[in-house]
Amino acid sequence: MLGIKNTSITTILPIEKVLKLLASKWRLQIIFLAANGATIRFSSLLRQLDGANKQSIAIALKELEKNSLLQRNIIAYKPLHVEYELTAKGQEIIPMLQKLERFVA
């Protein structure tokens, strides 16, 4: 339970930080695409995210990686490529997102 009545502004700020992280362009969609446990590739994201461009996807991936929600794996096989997957921290956020999804449904 949040206990909003007794909550100071300093305890609300971490929640705000998470919401801002997820609300940015393409980040939430990338997390949902990676939620099924499969690795995702940059080229696949370009095809799956209508209206996305290379720069916006690259920025979103870097931010998710910086915040330890995605892990970047370099695959050394020919052809060399990069795959992304959710970290343990990224997987922890999935049940919360599913609850939010049910809330608005």
> 27: domain CATH number?
1.10.10.10
74-101 pLDDT, tens per residue? 998 888 899 999 999 999 999 988 898 8
Contact indicator for 52, 46 with CB cutoff of 8 Å: yes
For residue 57, tell me if it sits in a domain: yes
Domain containing 76: what range?
11-104
pLDDT of residue 9 exceeding 70 = no
Q: How confident is the model at residue 21, as a pLDDT?
A: 85
Burial class (CB in 10 A: 0-12, 13-18, 19+), 64: buried
In a domain, 3, yes or no: no
* 61 located within any domain: yes
Is residue 1 domain-resident? no
